[in-house]
């Protein structure tokens, strides 16, 4: 997030000027000068940038969804101007779906949509969540595979990193191996995992994972305390205990998956970077957490190889 003095005032002034200039261009019609039209689009472009710059922390997924809705509405309005029914229908569908998606995202983040849009748009209170004490403890894929193979219950938490690594097919292969050994395996999906609600569900369904193995936050959260291993692949902020324990954290109050309550936690992660919110994840420093560094698909393949050798 990038902020500067009087940022909201500057944004408001540019918004007013853009609207006024747009009305002038509309009133002049074909007689409007090319410079006025260019200036209108330039100001609109700048307004979009200024609205996006201060966004950070937990607001970002909500704002991405909101911009999708606004894109649809823009297409719909353009359809009205051009008398194009196809554009009107497409714009209305995308706009309404995007608006509903924005409301669902805001609810999943435990933030009223009015608060996100008007009161504290992109504001995280200046907090960075504080410094996390401790160190991240790495683990080898062989040891992680053995730990999972001799477990009774494993819960897998996928995130956007799984999508980037395209590891869903290998992950399903891993699950099938564990099931052959009598291990109970479940998938835990956070409402805002990925870039939109349902992102992880679609990827897992594509890989062949049955729907009855996929659970949402409310259904699965109480199961973590009885899980022998929680495998986190590509998820970060949605499993950060700071959202529950640290009032100074930018994501405080956001519902999370209770991964930290599992007996053992294995996190597959490319490196030690922060998540979408830009803060450290307390889970990664916990005593019961081990970090398996590397590409998601490659690490899952190594887990599969380790289990096959047992």
Both tokens of residue 47?
């307004």
Please check whether residue 246 is in contact with residue 277, taking contact to mean a CB–CB distance below 8 angstroms: no
Q: How far is CA 86 from CA 75, 79, 97, 98, 224, in A?
A: 10, 7, 17, 18, 48
Residue with tokens 């504001």: 123
Q: Which of 59, 123, 223, 237 is an active site residue?
A: 237
Active site residue 237: yes
176: left (phi over 0), alpha (psi -120 to 50) or beta: alpha
Is 25:32 a contact under the CB 8 Å cutoff? yes
Residue pair 217/255 in contact (Cβ under 8 Å)? The answer is yes
> Any idea which residues carry the catalytic annotation?
237
């Amino acid at each position: 997030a990038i902020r500067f003095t009087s940022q909201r005032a500057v944004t408001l002034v540019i918004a007013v000027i853009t609207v006024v200039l747009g009305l002038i261009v509309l009133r002049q019609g074909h007689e409007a000068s090319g410079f006025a039209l260019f200036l209108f689009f330039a100001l609109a472009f700048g307004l979009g940038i200024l609205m996006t710059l201060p966004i950070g922390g937990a607001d970002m997924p909500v704002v991405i969804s909101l911009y999708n809705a606004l894109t649809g509405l823009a297409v719909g309005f353009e359809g009205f101007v051009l008398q194009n029914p196809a554009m009107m229908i497409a714009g209305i569908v995308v706009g309404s779906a995007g608006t509903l998606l924005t409301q669902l995202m805001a609810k999943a983040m435990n933030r009223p949509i009015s608060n996100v849009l008007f009161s504290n748009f992109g504001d995280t209170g200046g907090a960075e969540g504080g410094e996390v004490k401790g160190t991240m403890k790495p683990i080898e894929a062989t040891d992680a595979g053995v730990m999972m193979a001799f477990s009774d219950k494993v819960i897998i938490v996928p995130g956007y990193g799984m999508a980037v690594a395209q590891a869903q097919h290998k992950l399903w292969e891993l699950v099938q191996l564990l099931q052959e050994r009598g291990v109970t395996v479940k998938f835990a999906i956070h409402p805002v995992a990925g870039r939109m609600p349902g992102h992880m569900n679609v990827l897992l369904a594509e890989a062949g994972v049955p729907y009855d193995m996929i659970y949402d936050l409310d259904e699965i959260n109480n199961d973590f305390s009885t899980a022998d291993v929680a495998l986190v692949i590509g998820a970060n902020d949605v499993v950060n205990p700071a959202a529950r324990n640290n009032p100074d954290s930018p994501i405080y109050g956001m519902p999370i998956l209770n991964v930290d309550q599992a007996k053992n936690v294995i996190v597959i992660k490319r490196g030690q970077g922060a998540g979408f919110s830009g803060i450290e994840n307390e889970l990664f420093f916990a005593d019961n957490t081990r970090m398996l560094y590397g590409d998601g698909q490659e690490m899952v393949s190594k887990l599969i190889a380790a289990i096959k050798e047992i």
